[in-house]
Amino acid sequence: MPGKSRDSLEPVRWKNGVLEVIDQTRLPGRLVYVRMRTVDQVSSAIRSMKVRGAPLIGVVGGYGLVLAALKIRNGDLSQARSRLRKSADSLISTRPTGVNLRWAVERVFKASSRVDSAATLGDELRREADAILREELEAAHKIGHFGAPLIEDGDTVLTHCNAGSLATARYGTALAVVRSAVEDGKNVSVIATETRPLLQGSRLTAFELSRDGIPVRLICDSAAAQLMARGAVDKVVVGADRILGTGHVTNKIGTLPIALGAKFYDVPFYVAAPVSTLDLVTDVSRVVIEERDQREVLLIGGRRFSPRNVGALNPAFDITPPELVTGIVTDRGVVGQPLAENIRAMFG
């Protein structure tokens, strides 16, 4: 259906001094917003993954700092800034792997140097957070614009985790590419991995695509290579939580085996992300992989499926080396191989 925007969810909104986000832990059963008035509520929503997806976490983290600033109505400006600094650091520590959170919170914090009285901090920071929301939304549509030509009419696209409206300001990153191809009139269907342990694929990707009328089928994470082996996947498109200057892509755990399978079976493997996901300074050896609570692996829907005396490892992300990536779709265009050289030329 050309021209019709396939994007019916608004994951974050600011209403009369209150930050509202869709509670993603309740999906797909219930579509409800959580209302937040304090920075601590924002930190805990990010930690508990009511809000998740690197670009969305960035936007929401920025507004979290606005909420902290709005509590400071008067008093000494330098004291106010050091209080804000503490709030910023504590927000940033909630999810260490994705780079967008730090990027957005630092950008909003920097806005505090533009005011000359504590009373105007809240308004100034709010302007910056609004700008980030606006720019991230534009970036998502540009990713769709640059990525859509990579998808052919009739393609089946495999995606992992949720890199859709629910992971961004809306419209998505990987799913922006799919949405935009569909809006151009192409027939595209999606295979979504369920994405253990927290099932972002089944709970969120399947939810938002089916809601928007885009054909989607679920698979177990372990079925991806078998489907590629029998030619059932034309392209892989995934999101990213941090892309290094070398082209290493940090994304939801389970991305690396999909990239390995895609390389082996000659399926193009694309990563879609806004420029705010680029980290041109960190070395791959220093990327912190968040290790989450082992109960996320041991329990499913609150029920234990393993012996009581057995523990679990729960790394939340993996790192795909650049040689497995066909191209990176950004809001400034598609970066092809050799990634490091082209990233330097485009963003360095």
Q: What crossing angle do the helices spanning 77-92 and 100-110 adopt, rounded to 10°?
A: 170
Give min distance, CB of 79 to ligand MRU, in A: 34
- The Cβ of residue 179 has, within 10 Å, a number of other Cβ atoms equal to 28
Give min distance, CB of 317 to ligand MRU, in A: 7
Is 241 annotated as catalytic?
yes
Indicate the pairing of strand 235-238 with strand 242-244: unpaired
Task: Sketch the per residue contact string, 212 through 251, with ligand MRU: x for CB under 6 A, - otherwise.
Answer: --------------------------xxxx---------x
Contacts of 89 (CB under 8 A, 6+ apart): none
55/247 with CB nearer ligand MRU: 55
The answer to whether residue 91 forms part of the interface with ligand MRU (CB under 6 A) is: no
239/247 with CB nearer ligand MRU: 239
Q: Which of 94, 200, 205, 330 binds ligand MRU (CB under 6 A)?
A: 200
The answer to whether residue 115 forms part of the interface with ligand MRU (CB under 6 A) is: no
Size of the site for ligand MRU (CB under 6 A): 17
| Angstrom distances, CA of residue 307 to CA of 299, 303, 314 | 11, 12, 17
The piece of 3-11, 160-168, 225-233, 257-265 that touches ligand MRU (CB under 6 A) is 160-168
Q: Is 61 within 8 Å of 71 (Cβ atoms)?
A: no
Q: Which of 53, 122, 261, 322 binds ligand MRU (CB under 6 A)?
A: 53
The answer to whether residue 167 forms part of the interface with ligand MRU (CB under 6 A) is: yes
Q: What crossing angle do the helices spanning 100-110 and 54-70 adopt, rounded to 10°?
A: 30
Amino acid at 106: E
The answer to whether residue 68 forms part of the interface with ligand MRU (CB under 6 A) is: no
- What CA–CA distance (Å, rounded) separates 182 from 184? 5
Nearest Cα residue to 146 out of 328, 346, 279: 328
Q: Which of 55, 197, 245, 247 binds ligand MRU (CB under 6 A)?
A: 55
Catalytic residue among 7, 212, 241, 279: 241
Would you call 217 helix, strand, or coil by DSSP? Answer: strand
Q: Is 259 within 8 Å of 337 (Cβ atoms)?
A: no
The answer to whether residue 162 forms part of the interface with ligand MRU (CB under 6 A) is: yes
Residue ranges binding ligand MRU (CB under 6 A): 52-55, 161-163, 167, 173, 200, 238-241, 251-252, 316
Active-site residues: which are they? Answer: 241
